[in-house]
Structure 1
Amino acid sequence: MTPRHRRLLDHIRQHGDTSVEDLARVLGVTTQTIRRDIRELEDARLLARYHGGVSIPSTVENIDYDQRRVMDSDAKRRIGQLAAAQVENGRSLIINIGTTTEEVSKALLHHRGIRVVTNNLNVASILSGCDDAEVIVAGGLVRKRDRGIVGEATIDFMRQFKVDIGIIGVSGIEADGTLLDYDYREVRVTQAIMEQSRQVWLVADHTKFGRHALVRLGSIAQVDKFFTDLPVPAEAAEAFEKAGVEVIVAGAEQEK
C-alpha cells in the first residue's frame, strides 16, 4: 500500500463510513484520485464500496492470507524483531496463527535452547531451520488458506502445556480493549493458549485498531505486553492504561 492508501484506511477506521468527497478533501487530492485508490483497495478487499462512499468490509470474513502477508510488512518485521529480542534463551513459548507472529518466529532463528509449541505450520516451517530450537506442532484441522491448525483436538493439545510466554496475534482491537478475530475455532485455540501461558504477549500493528471482526477473543487486560508499530490511538489509550498492559512500540530504528 502507498502512504495515501494507509491514510485513507486510517481515516475510515476512525470516522466510519465516508464519502468520496470527504476523503478527497481530507487527503488533499481529486475525487478521481480517490476513486482510483478505492478501486485498488476494494480489489484487495480492504474496503467495501457503496453508492457515494466507502466503508470497512464485512466483519465476518478476513482478508486473504497472501494479501495480509504483504500488508504493512515492514511494520510487522519491526514488531517481530522487537518481541523476539525480549525472549530470553532457554524459554518455552506457544506461537499462534498470524502473519505478525510469523515475523516473530523469523526473528527467533538465532535463539538458543528455546522450545516452541505452535498451531501454525508456517511458524513450524520457519523454526525448523533453527538448530537449537525444539518445535512441537499441534494436531487438528489444517486450514488450507493459511496453514493454521484449529479444532477441538488442537485445544486439547494446547492444554497439555504450561509455557513461559504465549505470543498471539489478533484481527481487531476495539477502543475499549476488546480483542477480536474472525474464526470461532481459531479464537477458542487462542483462548487456550492464553490460559496455558505464564505471560501473554500480543503482537499487532496499528491497523488492527478500529478493525471490526465477528468473534470476541478476550480483553487487553489479559495481555502482559503489547508490541506494535505506533502509539496506541487516543480513543483506546484509557482502556490500555487501565489494563496495565506494557506497550512497546517498534520504531523505524528497529528495521535491520
Structure 2
Amino acid sequence: MTLNPRQRRLLEVVRQRVTISVEELALELGVTPQTVRRDVKMMEEANLLARYHGGVGLPSSVENIDYSLRQGMNSDAKRRIACEVARQVPSGCSLLINIGTTTEEVARALVHHQALHVVTNNLNVASILSDNPHCEVILAGGVVRGRDRGIVGEATIDFIRQFKVDIGIIGISSIELDGTLRDYDPREVKVAQAIIEQSREVWLVADHDKFARQALVRMAHVSQIDMLFTDAPPPEALNRVLRDAKVEVFVVE
C-alpha cells in the first residue's frame, strides 16, 4: 500500500494522539468521516492502524509494519539522516551495519566513500555497497529473512563477534521516553546487541516516527550509543535522558 498525503497525515495524527475518534480525525484532516473510515480500513489491513472501541489507534506492538511499506515511510527524512551520517563517516574506517530501511539509505549515501570495510547482516546493504569499488563488503552468514533480506541467527552473531570495528551503525523500531531501544524480532535484537558490543562507537539512525512507536523486545539503552541521527528534536523527556547519557544528537530538519 502506497500512502497518499492525506493518509500519511492521518497516520501522523494517530501517532501523536495515540488514540483518536473517527470524528476527530475527520475534523483534523478536513474530510468526511466516511473518507476517514475508508482510509482507516485500508491502513488496518496493512497493519498500520487498528480500530478499537471508540476510536483509532496504533496496532499491537507484536509485529512490525510490512517492510515494503516502511521503505516508503518518511523516505525524505531517512535520506537526510543518511547524508549527515555519510558526511561524518571518515574514509578508510570499518563499519558494522544492521537491518533497516534507514541503514539502507546510509549505505546509498556511502557509495562514493573511499577504503571502507563494511560488515553487515543486511543483503540490501551488501548489494548497494558492492557497487562501490573502493569498499570491501563482508557479509554475515545465517538465516535470510525473505521479507527484508536481513540475516539473523546464532551463526550471524558468532560471525559478527569475530570483528571489532570503528563504528556500528544501527537502526531501531522504537525509542521510549526513558531511553529504552526496542525492536520486534528477538533474533534481530540479538544481532544488533552483538553489533553494539563489537563497535568502538555506536551511531543510531532513527526518524521521528520511532519516538512514537512501541515494540516488544528490549534491545539496548541510549546510554550504550554515542550519536543519534534523526530528523526532528526528540521529546523533552527523552532529551533529558540523552543529555544525561552524553549522547551527541544530530537533528537534520
Distance in 1 between residues matched to 2:217 and 2:118, nearest whole Å: 26
- Identity among equivalent pairs (%): 65
Aligned to 2:147: 145
Equivalent runs, 1:86-235 vs 2, <5 Å:
86-235=88-237
Distance in 2 between residues matched to 1:83 and 1:54, nearest whole Å: 36
CA positional deviation for 1:223: 1.1
Distance in 1 between residues matched to 2:45 and 2:72, nearest whole Å: 15
1:19-43 CA distance string (max 9 Å, x none): 1122233444432332233234223
CA positional deviation for 1:236: 2.3
Match of 1:34 among 33, 36, 39: 36
CA positional deviation for 1:178: 0.8
CA positional deviation for 1:17: 2.1
Match of 1:10 among 2, 9, 12: 12
Match of 2:87 among 66, 85, 88: 85
TM-score (norm 2): 0.94
CA positional deviation for 1:116: 0.1
Q: Structure 1: which 5+ residue stretches go unaligned? A: 252-256
CA positional deviation for 1:56: 0.6
1:23-76 CA distance string (max 9 Å, x none): 233444432332233234223321012344111112111111111111111111
Give the match's secondary structure for 1:46.
coil
CA positional deviation for 1:173: 1.0
Distance in 1 between residues matched to 2:47 and 2:69, nearest whole Å: 9
Contact 1:175 1:210 in 2 (8 A): no
Distance in 1 between residues matched to 2:178 and 2:155, nearest whole Å: 32
* One-letter identity of the residue aligned with 2:154: E
Equivalences, count: 251
CA positional deviation for 1:216: 0.4
Q: Specify whether residues 12 and 242 from structure 1 end up closer, same or farther in structure 2 by C-alpha distance, changes over 3 A only.
A: farther
RMSD: 1.6
CA positional deviation for 1:3: 4.5
Q: Structure 2: which 5+ residue stretches go unaligned? A: none
* One-letter identity of the residue aligned with 1:64: D
CA positional deviation for 1:160: 0.6
Q: Specify whether residues 33 and 242 from structure 1 end up closer, same or farther in structure 2 by C-alpha distance, changes over 3 A only.
A: farther
TM-score (norm 1): 0.92
1:49-104 CA distance string (max 9 Å, x none): 23441111121111111111111111111111111111000000000000100000
